[in-house]
Structure 1
Amino acid sequence: MFNKRLPLLLTSLIVFFVMFGFGLLLQLKLRELGASLLMVGLLTTVRGAVETLGSPAWGAISDSLKRRKPLMIVLVLTSALLYFAYSVIEIPLVFILFSALIAFFTAGFEPIAMALSTEHSRDSVRNTSRELSILNTANSMGMLSGRLLLSMLLVFFTVTQTINWYATIAFLAVIPALFLRDQEHTVARRKGFLNRLFPLKQDSSPLWENGLWAVYVGTFLRQLGTAGATSIIAIFMTERIGLSASATAIITSVNPFMQIFSHIFFGRVMYRIGPRKSTLIGIGLTIFTMLFFAMAQSWVLIALGYFSLGIAFGAFINGAGTMISLSSPPERRAEFLGLLRSARAIGFMVGPLLAGTVAEYSYFVMFIMMASLIAAGGLIVIVFTKDRLITS
């Protein structure tokens, strides 16, 4: 079974290795180009707007194909080819617009990978949570190794040179993708171009069953808070706390390091505590992260915040992903998993813009605001999701 998973896990590891490295690199590159904090936040906002539409659309397209593998290879290869342009663009606005183009192609990877992972889990909480936790562990290992390498490269190379290193590594993801074992799956057939790209237009009923919509709203508010805070955290750490770019990369790597253990732990206990409770644990720990950031006067509380955030993500994403996988029609699974990415992408879109605006006046107020919005998302999940959603 592990050998069957290995190509997908390796592909996902490399993809997240590159994406997580670029998350910090692009902030630093924009700052080098003279961009304001608001414009740095706008980078994530624009990317989030594109991913909001791109993720469920790519998911729906993969649902309509008998095999998902060819589409995944095309998306991974196209993204790798485009990454090199980051090193030559010198105008901040053009840089942001080009990042939107890349985001359009990268948006399709996660829902397709999650659908491939859960394709044969037989709609079981134990099997679904296990497969997603293994995939998410590979993702987090990619994030961790991506940040660790980034911290070393920034000691010896400029930001622009490091961008070229990561663009080169992105091509490696294509190799294991060629060996994916992709069986034919149930195909969703729809009439009309828009219905094929956005099936919710034709049938949105699964959203209202068992309060599934509340999972997406809670996801949006949690991501709004985390994306808002982390979209300018590199600037906060280097300019306010006084850390170097290399030290910043090392401290932020605490997050994916803890995610590895969190994915494994919550993947094992999910069938006992239920995905709903796991999701709420993740939201609660994320609130603590914002409070640690708000009180930080040195690297210590920031590191504790990233420690909490790593545990939180494993609890949250495995819980929410399992809830959605079990509650969506099998022939529309990638679409609804794509909506999970979309909910997070909308948070990516709104959070940085809000955080960048508030942080111009006060980082403390910004972190507290993010914590409050995350708490509101947790309350919505508590009130509107139903117990039968977690016992499927």
Structure 2
Amino acid sequence: MTLKGENRQNFASLAVSRSLKGFFDSIPNTILTPYLYDLGASFTLLGSFRALPSMINLISSRFWGAVSDATNRRKPFILLSFLLSVPFFLAYAFIASSPEDYLLIGILNSLFSIEAGIMPATIASTSTRLGRAFGDYSFATSVAWTSGGIFSGWFVEHYGINQAFLLSTLGTLLASITLLFTYKEKNDGKHHNVKPQKIVQKTISFDLNPRAKKLALIAVFTALRSAFFGLPAMMKMYALLGRSKTSYSIILSLAGLTSIVTSPLYGRAVDRFGARNSAITSLLVYTIYLPLMALTNDITLFAILWAVPIGNLEYAALMSLKVKVSNPSGKATDIGTIEAISSLFSAFGNIAAGIVVDRLGIASSLFIATAFDAMALLLLFRKTDLLIR
């Protein structure tokens, strides 16, 4: 799909186009959860807002990954994934007025979720040093998301969420144009006979090799941890800040600065020390600071803990493992499968986390997140066959 001489250009094309889209997408999305909360959404509904699209993504991302592998093409599908988000941004801007409206539009949007497995497979095709590639990609996209998120709350408070989604539409179009003219994809000269029946079979089979299945189980526990951690922790910080959207988006984005600085370093650390060892390190850190986040009500300490940049290390490590355990001729499909399985459990986790917070409080959810993290850590210690350099 890509020639060696084109790898740097194609990596830059992916990073720049995705960063452009991420910058503009972060303006409405950074503040969207608190915005819906202020509209009257319960934690259960907020959990559903995260969960239901993920359930649908279980099938859609795997289907598109299988089609991409079968046709041996990446660029058209990434471009399509960008453009298909435009009508839904417009729906958010001009139609949505209640939390339920946002949920329905999000569900419809998830039917066209394409890039979950395709984008990582495409990034992997640009370099043999996977940790470095994913670390640098994370660096670029983190810079963009943080930059847009810094003034997300201010923008929404002054101009409204509708205008923010219109900016996302503009950013998506700019990103699409960038990818269209800068990413060079060459056909391999072979005729690919795409059989719809085979595509459907691959979509519903969820067939993985033994090592990929083991990694998928670890991904399930990290997804459940993130579900019980992400939404409750964000809303706790929002409450500690007195529901100030401006302060919330600034602190959330400033915390991203630590990720920006560390992402390239983490990528190189994964290549040097191994993906499995790096993943173990990140999980160990989570087991320490998640309970601290549950116990503290001091906004300064909470913000410092939030800024601990361990998520990007886990991303680079686990994504490298996903690439390495995948079938070489079906990377997008296999990665999409692992992502889809983890998304499904993340969906259930988000709904469950919302119910837990509504009934037992935020601290209980964060302690449950710690337990899931510990399970993933124990599995990773046992799966020595995932020690891949």
Name the TM-score class by shorter chain. 0.7 to 0.9
Structure 1 counterpart of 2:12, which letter?
A: L
CA-atom RMSD in angstroms: 2.6
CA distance in 1, matches of 2:291, 2:193: 47
CA distance in 1, matches of 2:347, 2:191: 31
CA distance in 2, matches of 1:307, 1:83: 29
Post-superposition Cα deviations, 1:41-80, rounded to whole Å, max 9, x if no partner, equal 1100112112222222221111112321112212201102
CA distance in 1, matches of 2:345, 2:306: 19
The answer to whether residue 171 in structure 2 is matched with residue 169 in structure 1 is yes
Post-superposition Cα deviations, 1:245-296, rounded to whole Å, max 9, x if no partner, equal 1111122224432222332112112232111111122222233342232123
The answer to whether residue 78 in structure 2 is matched with residue 79 in structure 1 is no
CA distance in 2, matches of 1:28, 1:379: 34
TM-score, normalised to structure 2's length?
0.88
Q: Quote the offset at 1:378 in angstroms.
A: 1.5
CA distance in 2, matches of 1:36, 1:338: 31
Q: Quote the offset at 1:165 in angstroms.
A: 2.8
CA distance in 1, matches of 2:342, 2:148: 21
The 5-angstrom pairing of residues 10-49 of structure 1 reads 10-49=16-55
CA distance in 2, matches of 1:75, 1:326: 25
Q: Secondary structure at the match of 1:331?
A: coil
Structure 2 counterpart of 1:204, which letter?
A: D
Q: Quote the offset at 1:181 in angstroms.
A: 1.4
Confirm or deny: 8 A CA contact 1:137 1:264 kept in the other structure. Answer: yes
Residue 158 of structure 1 corresponds to 160
Q: Quote the offset at 1:316 in angstroms.
A: 1.1
In percent, how many aligned pairs have the same letter? 19
The answer to whether residue 109 in structure 2 is matched with residue 102 in structure 1 is yes
CA distance in 1, matches of 2:72, 2:8: 23
Structure 2 counterpart of 1:316, which letter?
A: E
Structure 1 counterpart of 2:373, which letter?
A: I
CA distance in 1, matches of 2:54, 2:228: 12
Structure 2 counterpart of 1:364, which letter?
A: A
Confirm or deny: 8 A CA contact 1:279 1:316 kept in the other structure. Answer: yes
CA distance in 2, matches of 1:72, 1:48: 19
Structure 2 counterpart of 1:15, which letter?
A: K
Post-superposition Cα deviations, 1:61-109, rounded to whole Å, max 9, x if no partner, equal 111123211122122011023212113212433321210122333x322
Structure 2 counterpart of 1:251, which letter?
A: I
Confirm or deny: 8 A CA contact 1:83 1:167 kept in the other structure. Answer: yes
Alignment partner of 2:337 out of 313, 335, 339: 339
How many corresponding residue pairs? 379
Q: Secondary structure at the match of 1:330?
A: coil
CA distance in 2, matches of 1:3, 1:59: 23
Q: Secondary structure at the match of 1:253?
A: helix
CA distance in 1, matches of 2:228, 2:30: 14
In structure 2, runs of 5+ residues without a counterpart are 1-6
Residue 354 of structure 2 corresponds to 356
Residue 226 of structure 2 corresponds to 226
CA distance in 2, matches of 1:31, 1:256: 23
Change (3 A) 1:301 1:347: farther
Post-superposition Cα deviations, 1:3-29, rounded to whole Å, max 9, x if no partner, equal 342221111112333454444433234
The 5-angstrom pairing of residues 1-392 of structure 1 reads 2-87=8-93, 88-105=95-112, 107-121=113-127, 124=128, 127-179=129-181, 180-184=183-187, 191-193=195-197, 195-197=198-200, 199=202, 204-206=207-209, 208=210, 211-308=211-308, 311-360=309-358, 361-387=360-386, 389-391=387-389
Confirm or deny: 8 A CA contact 2:121 2:332 kept in the other structure. Answer: yes
In structure 1, runs of 5+ residues without a counterpart are none
